[in-house]
Structure formats: structure tokens, C-alpha cells
Amino acid sequence: MGGLFNYDNPIWRFVGRIWDLFILNILWIVCSIPIVTFGASTTAMYYCTLKIARDRDSGGIFSMFFHSFKDNILQSTIIWVIMAIIGGILFFDIRFFSVYAPINNTVIKMIVFTITCFLIMLWMFIFLYVFPIQAKFINPIKQTFKLALFMSVKHLVRTVIMLAGSIMILVAVYFLIIRMPGVMSMLVLILGSGISLFQASQFNMIFDTYISNDNE
């Protein structure tokens, strides 16, 4: 029985991880409520999950989260505002050109639509990488954007894995909640941090090619 109540027991470690993800998810949601702080909150979440994925979170979720939140709030907020504005323009453009644009030439309309879709894809790539990079590296904002685009394209396979995997998790949780709403709705409490942890395992492998363990 002593082994069962040993905190190093795999069962307790798993329960502890679920609890950490729950707390992290709550912190992320609460600190994102002002909307403008979404960037700093997301950066802080990735800061935690990048460490959790390596079992280097001995400092505690609260201290790690707010350490990153405080250190990155200005730069992450600027990044978030830039991404939100560009994203809003792109999604408005694709809606406009596909429905409302007064372009009678179908070929031109399709060309514009295709270009806009390509730009949205690049926006999604950058959005996926920019906050984890902000959490991991110390760089000017311009360099952070450059790295986000560069890494997302260079490591295209992992980029696709992260995007596809995240979408699959969302879809799976959605259908589980529909079939077993009383039980599976609890998954929502760790959904954001759980997806972040899944992505963090991939980001750590990508970042390892750019930094040594001594610099972490």
C-alpha cells in the first residue's frame, strides 16, 4: 500500500499533471479575459508547457506563469495586437472577395481568393509559432516574427502535425462532449493547456536544433 500513496507513483504523477493543466488552463482563461492581454497570457502558458513537457516545472505553475506573464506582457501584447489586426483584415478580405466583391471576372476573383487563402495560411503558421518563440527566446519583435515564419516553413512537417493534431483534439473533444456531456465536458477544463502541452512537445524538438541544453 505504501507504493500506492507514494507521490512518485505514476498514478499520482499523472493526477498531478492533470491538476497542473487544470490550473494552467484557468490562469490562461482568466488572464486572457481583458482580450488585450491574450498575447501575454498565451506566452505564459507556453512558457509553462514547454517546461512541463521536459519535467522542468519544479517552480510551480503559479510562479512560472506569472513570471513569464510579467516579463513578456509588453512585447507579447504588441505581437498580439499586430496579429489580431492582420488576421482581422485577412478574414474580412476573404469574406469580401468571396461574397461581396464587385468582380465579374471569375478568374481574377479566384486569383485574389487564392492569394488571400495563402496569406491566411502564413498567418496561421506565424500565429502558431510566435508566442512559443516569445516564451523561449529573447528577441526584438521583428526578429520574433521572422523566426516564427522561418521555423514554421522550415519545419513544415511538424507545423502540419501541430495544426492537424490540435484540430483533431478539438473535434474529438467536441464529439465526446456530445455523446457523454456529463463526464467528458470536464475535458474543457484542460483543453487549452492540453493542446498547448501537445504542441510544446513538438516545439521543444524544434527549438533543440537552435539552442543547446546549457542555454535553456
Greatest mean pLDDT among 9-13, 180-184, 189-193 lies in: 189-193
What is the structure's pLDDT at 98?
63
Greatest mean pLDDT among 100-104, 130-134, 189-193, 211-215 lies in: 130-134
Residues 155-181: tens digit of each pLDDT: 999 999 999 999 999 998 888 888 877
What is the per-residue burial (b if ≥16 Cβ within 10 Å, else e) of 68-77?
A: bbebbbebbb
Of 71, 70, 20, 77, nearest in space to 48 by CA: 20
State the Cα–Cα distance between residues 48 and 73, nearest whole angstrom: 15
For 113, half-sphere exposure in the C-beta direction (CA atoms, 13 angstrom radius) is 14
What is the structure's pLDDT at 73?
97
What is the structure's pLDDT at 1?
47
Residues 75-112: tens digit of each pLDDT: 999 999 999 999 999 988 777 766 665 666 677 777 87
Query: What is the grid cell recorded at 174?
Result: 467536441
